[in-house]
Amino acid sequence: MEPLLLRRHPRGLFPALAALAAGACASHIPTSGAPLHRPIPARAFWAGLPQASPEASPRGDVVLRPPLDGRVPVPGGTFTMGSSPVDIERAQLSCMREPAGAQCGDGEEKLRFAAELPAHEVTLSPYLIDRTEVTVAAYACCVANDACPPRARASRGPQLDGPDLPVTYVGWDAAVAYCAWAGGRLPTEAEWELAARGAEGRQYPWGDVYNPFLCNHGSFAADRVDATDGFAGLAPVGTYPDGATPLGVLDLAGNVAEWVSDYYWTDEKGFGYEAASQVNPTGSKFGALHVVRGGSYLDGAAWLRGASRAFSLGPSPTVGFRCAASVR
């Protein structure tokens, strides 16, 4: 699909569109002015990005579509998706360290852990995945181009509306619309997990040991807010570069949970997967709910693991998304 182009007005772009062209559609990653928890090291920030082009369009057109250089190539391959009983035991121990840890074996949490079972072999083709979660500014650009519906809640407040914050209050259908407009699609659940865990099966995007300073997390407690990471609410995308995966994908743990394309499904035992090996799985074909991955700024360590699964009932202040694309 060709990028949507806007011809320059003789007196320049209309002010609102100029703002979108200069900000909302410029990038998924903040470049300046964001209240970051710590400075982004230059090497970490630019790792894997293509070289800047010295050329500009000779026609003077303005491209009102997000650039695709914010996507990270994932080579695909075979990996173990889901959790083993040992992984579940480790996750429960992590949960028990939380203030409300006594509830970790109760019905709801027990079922959520069971939904990661059984561990099974998955083979994926190569694909691309967004380096960061889609921002408020980028989604606003899609709305301005009549390609996405407005966010679900009219009044959200500055804590959810900063241009470099991950967009929230978007439903699954709206996320699908954005990704199609941006030249991609939602990642499958398997693609999301491979990006987060790698073929080696990391517990967290950065490795096997939880580090509360590498992500925007919460707490399993009566008060789920935990500001020890520097933020009581959402953080600008890319705030925690040291929490990136080895491939350079950011924010796969915490900040916002992320829509994926799959329907949420469990069997009569509460298990979320079939045991058989699969190639490029897309999950159940039917359902009333869709999977979200990665946990949010209100979730504790056990739910920020790369294998953790949840679902959302619809638009939420804790759910956003990122896009993926197939490699042709």
* Top-confidence residue, 8 or 305: 305
Domains assigned to the chain: 72-326 (3.90.1580.10)
Computed over every residue of the chain, the mean pLDDT equals: 82
C-alpha 226/C-alpha 230 separation (Å) is 9
In tens, the pLDDT along 270-302 reads 999 999 999 999 998 888 899 999 999 999 999
Q: How buried is residue 149: exposed, middle or buried, by Cβ count under 10 Å (0-12/13-18/19+)?
A: middle
In DSSP terms, which residues pair with 292 in a beta bridge? 259, 310
60: left (phi over 0), alpha (psi -120 to 50) or beta: left
pLDDT at 102: 85
The answer to whether the beta carbons of residues 135 and 164 sit under 8 Å apart is: yes
Report residue 25's pLDDT band, with 50, 70 and 90 as the boundaries: low
pLDDT at 78: 97
Q: How buried is residue 6: exposed, middle or buried, by Cβ count under 10 Å (0-12/13-18/19+)?
A: middle
Report residue 105's pLDDT band, with 50, 70 and 90 as the boundaries: confident
* Non-local CB neighbours of 172 within 8 Å, separated by 6+ positions: 186, 259, 290, 312, 314
pTM of the predicted model, to two decimals?
0.81
pLDDT at 45: 37
- Percent of the chain having pLDDT more than 70? 78
Tell me the mean pLDDT in the region 119-134. 98
Residue 69 has pLDDT above 60, yes or no: no
Report residue 55's pLDDT band, with 50, 70 and 90 as the boundaries: very low
In tens, the pLDDT along 308-317 reads 999 999 999 9
pLDDT at 215: 97
Alpha carbon separation from 97 to 74, 103, 106, 110, 241 (Å, rounded)? 34, 11, 15, 16, 26
Omega within 30 of 0 (cis) for the link into 41: no
Report residue 158's pLDDT band, with 50, 70 and 90 as the boundaries: confident
pLDDT at 231: 94
C-alpha 81/C-alpha 118 separation (Å) is 8
pLDDT at 20: 39
